[in-house]
Amino acid sequence: ADKVLLDTDAFVRECLKSLPNRPISTSELHHHLGMQLLKAGVNPEYSVLAQAARWNVPIYTSSPGDSSIGMNVARNALDGSLLTLDPLADVNETTAIVHHATRNGVIILGGGSPKNFYLQTQPQLWEVLGIQKGGHDYFVQITADAPHWGGLSGATPSEAVSWGKIKPDQLSSTVVIYGDSTIALPLLTAYVITKAQPRPRKELYTKRDELLQELKDAYSLAGKEVRP
């Protein structure tokens, strides 16, 4: 186990050498790591990063420093690199993706920081940027945490409504499953595959610049209309 961990650290550090020497979003980091895995011959069926890179699905990490990858990026900085992971770029990119979509939803496994990180895209639009777009259209949560403990993982959809993260009229359609995600998600996925027709992939990673420009334009327009 130790050898696998140390080999993984060495692989990550080697991959960092071919990234730009500047701040980047975590989507750029994960896409790069996934591409390196594909080049190394890793079967994408056995790697989330490799499959996401292959299909241009952006992956974001809400707390990138809280990980072995973040630890190696920190070591890279001690060696003089200017490569850093920019959480503000992540906030803008995820908000741009949500802004562009005609319908938005969320499937949450557990909770914690990643839960709020995605849900906050809606209040980022209306509260901070002044873009009047409502909350998410659907909400499915699989969690083992009960709400009475007060933790984010157990927070209910009704709590999210109070922050404008979920549309109030969609509250009756929200779903909370109390159980083990490793059991519930495969069952849910198998059901969806048998019921839903395949759709074209969105390839959102390749559209980040375009979506960011759309967000900037909308923000500029909102500022001209009313600036609190």
Kindly list the catalytic residues.
165
Instruction: Give the distance from CA 36 to its chain's centroid.
Output: 20
For residues 152 and 62, give the distance between their C-alpha atoms in angstroms, rounded to a whole number: 14
**Cβ atoms within 10 Å, residue 53:** 24
- Characterize the bridge pairing of strands 175-178 and 138-143: parallel
CA 220 → CA 42, 97, 129, 217, 227, distances in Å? 44, 17, 9, 5, 10
The CB density around residue 81, as the number of other CB atoms within 10 Å, is: 15
Return the SS3 of 85. strand
